[in-house]
Amino acid sequence: LINPGSSAAGAGEAQVAKVDDAYASYYNPAGLGFLRGREVVMQHVNWLPNLADDLYYEFLAYRKYLPGIGTFGGHLIFLNLGEQQRTDEFGNDQGTFRSNMWSLALSFGTKISEKSSIGLNMKIIQQNLIDIGTGAEAGKGKSTDFSFDIGYLVKYKKINFGACISNIGPKIDFIDPNQADPQPTNLRM
């Protein structure tokens, strides 16, 4: 749920009804239905630089309109969590490890009338936290999952209304499936 784009930051991240560029694949894929042409957007952020100097966030998105069909697009997000200290269950130093997370989304948006559109994202998410468990934990701290987003956008005169439900999918687990957590499902309106 790290929100990309300077326009979004300037609008307090209230983008679900404003989406008018390739960032639509993140905020509300229905926004792609109103867009023509093609576009690439990129962003690099040194994430939490006062905490650590090796945390960073990358965002890359693309969109292309196909006449009579709609707009296809997608985005890639990469979050580098840097180097961390590994300890055993008793707090003893076990060296260091690196971790990261990434998400790849394929998007489609199309108009359902002159004033409204719908959109869908299909995502693969991978979280690489640590290569081995601690103590008696068997397995790796790695998770590969899927989710999808569905959005709606209507533009009427000078008023836009948008809604998008993001990260709909199964629970995420790492080493122990009994400790699975729900995805950060989010409704924006």
What pLDDT digit, counting tens, does each position of 105-145 carry? Answer: 999 999 999 999 999 999 999 999 887 766 666 667 888 99
Position 178 confidence tier, pLDDT thresholds 50, 70, 90: confident
Please, which residues have CB within 8 angstroms of residue 4's CB and are 6 or more apart in sequence? 23, 26, 43, 57, 59, 61, 77
Backbone angles phi, psi at 159, to 5 degrees: -115, 130
| pLDDT of 40 above 80 | yes
Q: Within a 10 A sphere around the Cβ of 78, how many other Cβ atoms?
A: 15
Dihedral angle of Cα 175, 178, 179, 180, to the nearest 10 degrees: 90
Q: Whole-model pTM?
A: 0.87
Q: Is the confidence at residue 175, as pLDDT, over 90?
A: no
Q: Which amino acid is at 90?
A: F
What's the distance, CA 122 to chain centroid?
A: 11
The CA-CA-CA angle for residues 142, 147, 150, to 5°, reads 160
pLDDT band at 6 (very low <50, low <70, confident <90, very high): confident
Predicted confidence (pLDDT) per residue in 62-121, tens digit: 999 999 999 999 999 999 999 888 888 888 898 888 999 999 999 999 999 999 999 999
